[in-house]
A and B are shown apart, each in its own frame.
Chain A
Amino acid sequence: MQLSLEEVAGVTIVLAAGRLDFAAAQPFQVQVEAAIAAAGKGVVVDLAPLEYVSSAGLRAFLVGAKAAKAKGVGFAVCNLRPEVQEVFDLTGFGKVVGVHAERTAAIAAVSGA
């Protein structure tokens, strides 16, 4: 998978593209944890170009959510494709990490956290 980072008003946006499978999960988790450690207000993972996520990938979101909570910053995802949304829905991961339709809503939610 490919990751790119940008900063919007104190919020770190991680754009995640490709496949978040078992092989990609560990490096992705390291990046997310680093982004949270360095974050001002919080981190939004934009999943618009993400094609696939498995349970190994979900683990990285759970670790990220725990790290963000421990640090007291926001953590959210946005722009889920229908297949990825289904994985979040079937596992109840919307209760673990904030899920938003659009990036602006995710940034607003994270900034207010």
Chain B
Amino acid sequence: MNPLRVSATAAVEALDPLQAALLDFWAERQLPDQARYAFELALEEFVMNVVMHGQNAAATKTIWLELDDNPEQVCMVFEDDCAAFDPTSLDTPDTSLGVDERSIGGLGIHLVREMMDQVEYARADGRNRLTLIKRLANA
């Protein structure tokens, strides 16, 4: 099957239709449920990142989502035309800290990196591009 490609205006409202597209893609290709959480989480974290970091002209900015699968893996490519921002450059949060020292920053990208097998950032043609790959356990 061909990859799924959808786009949306870079705003909080983009999350619902993009998430619906992800769930349809998963159901249509009968992909394993246990691998889906990582993609749902990545989608939310990156839409919210774009909305927070690319806020200035958000109404004129776009998010592109591409999903593709083969028997070994699922690949999600996430692009936006907001200001350059590399979430993989964020410091890894110290997950050993208790309640007093803990801050919330960086946990989203940390979770995505832990749950995916590959996370790559590139800036090209005025777009941020994140490529996420997760291998399927039963492949």
- With most chain A CB atoms within 10 A of its CB, the pick from B34, B40, B99 is B99
Contact status B111-A87, CB under 8 Å: yes
Q: Which of A22, A52, A96, A97 contacts B40 (CB 8 A)?
A: A52
Distance between Cα atoms of A74 and B40 in the complex (Å): 32
Question: Please, which residues of chain B bring their CB within 8 A of the CB of A21?
Answer: 44
Q: List 27 A-B contacts (CB under 8 A).
A: A22-B15, A22-B44, A52-B41, A54-B44, A54-B108, A54-B111, A55-B45, A55-B108, A56-B48, A62-B102, A62-B104, A66-B99, A69-B99, A69-B100, A87-B41, A90-B95, A90-B111, A90-B115, A91-B93, A91-B95, A91-B107, A92-B96, A95-B95, A95-B97, A96-B98, A96-B99, A97-B99
Contact A54 B41 (CB under 8 A): yes
In angstroms, Cα B37 to Cα A52, docked, is 8
B95 contacts A92, C-beta separation under 8 Å: yes
Report the bound CA distance from A65 to B110 in whole Å: 21
Within 8 A of A (CB), among B52-69: none
Contact of A7 with B by CB under 8 A = no
Q: Name A residues whose Cβ lies closer than 8 Å to a Cβ of B.
A: 21-22, 52, 54-56, 58-59, 62, 65-66, 69, 83, 86-87, 90-92, 95-97
CB neighbours (8 Å) of B111 from chain A are 54-55, 87, 90-91
- A54 neighbours in B (Cβ, 8 Å): 41, 44-45, 108, 111
CB pair A95–B96 under 8 Å, yes or no, is: yes
- Nearest CB to that of B113 among chain A residues? A90
Given contacts A52-B41, A62-B99, 4 further A-B contacts (CB under 8 A): A54-B45, A55-B45, A56-B44, A59-B104
State the B residues within 8 Å of A (CB).
12, 15, 34, 37, 40-41, 44-45, 48, 93, 95-100, 102, 104, 107-108, 110-111, 114-115
Q: Are A96 and B48 in contact (CB under 8 A)?
A: no
| Cross-chain contact B96 with A58 (CB below 8 angstroms) | no
Contacting pair A90 B44 (CB below 8 A): no
Residue in chain B with minimal CB distance to A75: B99
Q: Is the CB of B104 within 8 A of A55?
A: yes
Q: Are B37 and A83 in contact (CB under 8 A)?
A: yes
Distance between Cα atoms of A69 and B40 in the complex (Å) = 32
